Each structure stands twice: as structure tokens, then as C-alpha cells.
Amino acid sequence: MERPLRVAIIGCGWAGVRHARACKECGAEVRWAVDLDRGRAEALQGMQEGTRTATDYHEPLDDPSVDAVDICLPHALHAPVAVEAAEAGKHVLCEKPMAASLEEADRMIEAAERAGVVLVIAENVRFNPLFHKIGDLLQDGVIGQPALIQMTRECYLTPSFLEERRWFLDAQAAAGGIMMSGGIHDFETMRMLIGEVESVQALRARQRFVEMEGDDTSVALVRFCDGTVGTLVESFIMKSLATAAGSEVHTLRIDGDLGSLSVQDGRTIRLFSERDDFLPGGALAQHDIYVPEIDTFVLVIEHFLQSIHTGSEPITSGRSQRRPLEIVLAAYQSMESGQPVGVSHCAPGHGMPRRKSNNISRA
């Protein structure tokens, strides 16, 4: 019987706590909890017996019993720590976005390949059963050929949100603002459901949170390789009863020539289709499809462990997750230039083929 994988969690804030819980559920052993704030490291230490604490991440890198590191640090620190960890022979799980620049992302990929270790980016949208169900519906042609996808991420920077993420206010530490922290998820969701992106044009709204250096609200217009267009709204200033209580509200709508589907609550797909062979009795109707929630952090950790044990290419490998980073950085470039920015991932003459959801995750 294989012994449990021994992991060092580097960064014990909001994400680190959730990764620690997922590690425990998946049978991984959290050997180290590392944070500059020793109190946070000690709080995480209490979640599993045998966990040691440190304020210097080099301590677990020097520990030969540690198999892997789980990086839950501010975005600008992802690449330097990941490269050092790979060079120390540790497998690497890193929160998204994988890096602050494409050059840093490339260094992470090269370091992992050179050391022969697994690099996985914790992009949990790739494991969300809701998006897999939507992928199946699109593959089955229930709404025909998609023409428009619209996504909105509504947040509000409440004091409780910033308690463990004060670094979000620093544009250098966060590698931008809401388009980086939220858009990295949503561009990847769009890629997963529609296909590769041809170009992006983005605008930054007037700043409302003056203490935040990065964009607090921004909008992107996306053109996909197959001709579909999309809009993406990312905002930290959208006030509602839900956001004031600290919740994020994500909405999604996809329209095609035979119908539409939308998601408002993160669990229910509202579907309208004119396809006669889909509708009961051929009558026009609206269908609600409920998809149970699941802890996607657990799915990410399970996949990380599986990739290490089997040697298989991770769904959210460094090379895969370099792509949404490229799109986000193109959006920021567009904000500065006022012009659309091309993203070179279109195959000549056609868009990315649509696939079943059990394969769609590997795009």
C-alpha cells in the first residue's frame, strides 16, 4: 500500500485553508503549514496531526520527506516559489493564475519538465460538474450552434473579504485587479465551453475603490475562433443583498440558433430549446436542470494526486493554464492601448472542435 503523499501548504489564508481541508479528505498528509503570519500557519496546523509550521518556505523545500508543495500565495509569488520547489524535486500544485507574466509561466513549465515533477494549476472550473453538464448539452446541439456567451462575476470588497486577502489591493502582488483574479476563471470557462479565443478587447471602468491599485471593474469583448462572440463583466463594486453579505454572484448565458441556456445560482441550468426531438411532445418549453454542488477543491487535489501516481498529463497542466493567462494579459494590454489584441490559438480556417465533456477538460 502506497504511503500518503506528503504536502507542504505555502500560504495559509483563505485558499490555503480550503486546500488543507481537501488534502485531508483526499488522504494526503499536510506535513508543513507555511505563512509569514505564524498564527495563520498554526491555525492550519490544527487541522491535521503531525503538521509542522514555518515562516520560511525553504524549510519544507529542504525536507526530504516532503513530496509536493501546494502554493496558495499572492499571485506575484507563484512563479518564484514554484520554480524553486521544482528545482528541489517537489511536485507543484499552484493556485491560479499560474503566474504574473507569460515569461514567468514559461519558467515554471520548464523548471517542472527539467526536474521531472508534476505541475498542476488549481483551476477548479475545469472540474465543476455544472460546466461539464453544459458542455454535454452544447455537444448534443440542444441550443444549436452557439453565437453569444455572456458571463458576469459580481463581487463587493467587504471588510471580511479583505481580512485574509489584503494583498488584493496591491496591483503588483495581485498582478492586476479583478480581471486577473476573476477573469482568469471566466476566460477558462469560456474556452472550456466554446473553444479557443481569437481576440479580446477590454475596457477598465472608472475606479470606485481608490485604495485598490488594480482594476475594480472591467469589461471584455471576446471573439472566438469559430465566430462566436462573448462578453465578460468582472466587478468588485456590484452591490446587492448577496454581495453585501460577502457572496460572489456568477451568471452565465449562452444563446444559439435553436435556443439558450443560462445559470443564475451556480447550480441550475435553465434551458430553452426549439429542437423537436428534445422537447417532450414537441411543444415549446423551458427546462430546469439541477446539478448538485460539489467541493471542486477536493476534485483538484484528487486530480493532482492521480497525476503524480499515474504520470498522466494533468488536465490543468502548466501548458494548458498558460492559455487563459495569455488572454487575461491580452485584456490588460487592450485596456492600455484601446485596441483589440489577438491571441494566436486558432487553427487555420476553422475554430476549435466541440467535444464531449469528458474530453473537454483537456483543452
| Domain closes at, from 124, 147, 182 | 124
Residue 159: the pLDDT is 73
Instruction: List b or e across 53-65, with b for residues whose CB sees 16 or more CB atoms inside 10 angstroms.
Output: bbeebeebbebee
Q: How far apart are CA 139 and CA 60, in angstroms?
A: 45
Asked whether the predicted pLDDT for residue 77 surpasses 50, the reply is yes
Q: Do both 72 and 152 map to the same domain? A: no
Q: What average pLDDT does range 69-77 have in this prediction?
A: 98
- Judging by DSSP bridges, how do beta strands 341-342 and 229-235 pair with one another? unpaired
Q: Do both 148 and 201 map to the same domain? A: yes
Residue with cell 458576469: 152
Q: Do both 335 and 216 map to the same domain? A: yes
Would you place residue 352 in the very low, low, confident or very high pLDDT band (cuts 50, 70, 90)?
very low
Q: How far apart are CA 35 and CA 42, in angstroms?
A: 9
Let me know if residue 307 belongs to a domain.
Answer: no
CATH code of the domain containing 142: 3.30.360.10
Q: Do both 83 and 130 map to the same domain? A: no
CATH code of the domain containing 35: 3.40.50.720
Q: What average pLDDT does range 158-166 have in this prediction?
A: 76
Instruction: Read off the C-alpha cell for 313.
Output: 498529463
Q: Do both 133 and 103 map to the same domain? A: no
Let me know if residue 105 belongs to a domain.
Answer: yes
Residue 248: the pLDDT is 79
Q: Do both 235 and 176 map to the same domain? A: yes
Q: Do both 68 and 149 map to the same domain? A: no
Would you place residue 36 in the very low, low, confident or very high pLDDT band (cuts 50, 70, 90)?
very high
Q: Do both 118 and 141 map to the same domain? A: no
Residue 360 main-chain phi, psi, to 5 deg: -60, -25
| Domain closes at, from 124, 155, 186 | 124
Let me know if residue 306 belongs to a domain.
Answer: no
- Judging by DSSP bridges, how do beta strands 146-154 and 268-273 pair with one another? unpaired
Q: How far apart are CA 233 and CA 251, in angstroms?
A: 10
Q: Do both 116 and 133 map to the same domain? A: no
Mean pLDDT of the chain: 91
Q: How far apart are CA 334 and CA 257, in angstroms?
A: 30
Let me know if residue 280 belongs to a domain.
Answer: yes
Closest among 303, 323, 322 to 313, alpha carbons compared: 303
- In the chain, the amino acid numbered 266 is G
Asked whether the predicted pLDDT for residue 160 surpasses 80, the reply is no
- In the chain, the amino acid numbered 313 is E
Asked whether the predicted pLDDT for residue 53 surpasses 70, the reply is yes
Would you place residue 363 in the very low, low, confident or very high pLDDT band (cuts 50, 70, 90)?
very low
Let me know if residue 13 belongs to a domain.
Answer: yes
| Residue range 2-25, pLDDT digits in tens | 778 999 999 999 999 999 999 999
Would you place residue 348 in the very low, low, confident or very high pLDDT band (cuts 50, 70, 90)?
low
| Domain closes at, from 86, 102, 124 | 124
Q: Do both 146 and 92 map to the same domain? A: no
**The model's pTM:** 0.92
Q: How many structural domains does the chain have?
A: 2
Let me know if residue 303 belongs to a domain.
Answer: no
What is the span of the domain harbouring residue 138?
Answer: 126-296+325-360
Q: Do both 31 and 49 map to the same domain? A: yes
Would you place residue 281 in the very low, low, confident or very high pLDDT band (cuts 50, 70, 90)?
low
Let me know if residue 302 belongs to a domain.
Answer: no
Let me know if residue 287 belongs to a domain.
Answer: yes
Q: How far apart are CA 255 and CA 271, in angstroms?
A: 10
Q: Do both 65 and 176 map to the same domain? A: no
